[in-house]
Amino acid sequence: MRDLKYNKLLSGLTLSTKIREELRVDLKECLLRNSTVRPPCLTMVLVGDNYASKMYVDFKHKTCQQLGISSRLVSLDSSVSQEELLVVIDKLNQDDSVDGILVQLPLPDHIDKQVVLSRIDPRKDVDGLSPYNQGLLMAASSEAVVPCTPLGIVELIRQVEPNLEGKLVAVVGRSLLVGKSVRLLLENYNCTTIGIHSKTKNPQTLCQMADIVVVAVGHAGIIDKNWIKKDAIVIDVGINKDNSSHTVGDVNRDSVYEQTINLSPVPGGVGPMTITMLMKNTIKLWKKRFKIKTKYC
CA-to-CA distance for 280 and 150, rounded, in angstroms?
Answer: 13
Q: Name the packing angle between helices 179-188 and 131-138 (round to 10°).
A: 30
Q: Is 211 a catalytic residue?
A: no
Name the catalytic one among 60, 167, 284, 287: 60
Q: Is 104 a catalytic residue?
A: yes
Name the catalytic one among 104, 250, 259, 280: 104
Q: Is 208 a catalytic residue?
A: no
Its sign, for the CA torsion 201, 134, 113, 151, is positive
CA-to-CA distance for 229 and 242, rounded, in angstroms?
Answer: 25
Q: DSSP letters of 94-141? A: H-TT--EEEEPSPPPTTS-HHHHHHHS-GGGBTT--SHHHHHHHHTT-
Name the catalytic one among 26, 99, 125, 127: 127
Q: How many helices (H) and strands (E) does the chain have?
A: 10, 11
What amino acid positions are annotated as catalytic residues?
A: 60, 104, 127
